[in-house]
Chain A
């Protein structure tokens, strides 16, 4: 993971990550288009083969694993469009990354307002 600032648990998307994740982020950027989202759902392997992803990026896409996607160079703004295909929002992906249940993650958010 990009350790640009060395803040624990806090990816910083700099040049090295942007270069490493270019193909993955390009695929996710293209998910702005509903036709591309539909094409992914119809033939996932065929669709991802068009983008030249690395094996690690393909595995992370197949696993729907956000931390692995970030490790593989994904940027959360583009990844959010991938998550959107499955109807997942930022609480869902927050819960997945922190290992919390959705309810526990939402409670964690609310607790910080006390």
Chain B
């Protein structure tokens, strides 16, 4: 059976791509953020996940306002990155797993999550940079297969935190019912607090970010009680990317243990955060095995 071995959340600001391209990982501005991945690299080398479900938000590379899905799932054999307009390098293509994608889609729709199915999907920095951070030395071929899952964060109304939590739970149920042996890591990328637009641009809420980092481990349902208005007020208009963290956490069904966590203000306009969670086996799963 497929097993979800862990969850990783990380900020995905485009300037990470610029910092990598210029080799600035060890400069004072970036060192804390990049060094947060050292224990992540150790864990990945040990655990060797086969596939990553990447829950993220598209920033106007793949989806436009003509058709804006609330939730979309990739069902392609390959996902390409592309020019996003601001000059960060385009990364090599990512191998998909279409068979698992269709299983995931069938399970989600049966579970009343009526997702948009995408056989072509360009993946933007929110998808590519966390994978690059996980595997900084990868060349033309990534050592992991991927399936993208997007949550609309562009055009309100956005799904609620509670809905994203339930989506994550449904993703978890779908993956763990897949009969093929494989190890899966679930990513939620974005955040934490930031606001790019309006006269409150530059808003960062360290106190709220630290609360989220605490709750996401041991009491994630506390975060699902915020309304979207509250999240925008507390985390800024783009802080709604917290939804991806909540969905990631929903997919981890058992108790979790924190393997690594970092928080540092600022990277670009945001509170830069990284967290790796190990998905511990539940008693129910032990019994079932």
Contacts and interface: CB of A to CB of B under 8 A. Distances in A.
Interface of A: 1, 4-5, 7-15, 18, 22, 25-26, 28-29, 31-34, 37, 66-67, 70, 75-81, 83-85, 87, 89-91, 93-94, 97-98, 105, 108-110, 112-113
B83 A70 contact: no
B253 interface: no
A85 B198 CA distance: 20
A110 B29 CA distance: 10
Interface centre among A22, A87, A90 (most CB of B within 10 A): A90
Contact of A77 (B60, B199, B204): B60
A7 B233 contact: yes
Contact of A98 (B156, B199, B229): B199
Nearest to B156: A14
A32 B61 contact: yes
Contact of B202 (A25, A37, A105): A105
Interface string B53-67: 000000111001100
Interface string B77-114: 00000111111000000000000000000000000000
Contacts of A15: 155-157
Contacts of A25: 64-65
Contacts of A108: 202
B264 interface: yes
Question: Is the interface on chain B under 10, 10 to 19, 20 to 34, or 35 or more residues?
Answer: 35 or more
B128 to A, nearest CB: 15
A107 to B, nearest CB: 10
Given A25-B65, A81-B84, A113 B269 contact: no
Contacts of B156: 4, 12-15
Interface string B243-269: 000000000000000000000111011
Contacts of A83: 86
B266 A112 contact: yes
Contact of A90 (B84, B264, B265, B268): B268
Nearest to A33: B83
A84 B157 CA distance: 27
A73 to B, nearest CB: 10
A32 B83 contact: yes
A87 B85 CA distance: 10
B229 A5 contact: yes
Nearest to B84: A32
B269 A76 contact: no
A13 B205 CA distance: 21
Contacts of A66: 197
Contacts of A87: 87
A109 B84 contact: no
Contacts of A113: 204, 206, 264-266, 271
Contacts of B264: 113
A31 B195 CA distance: 22
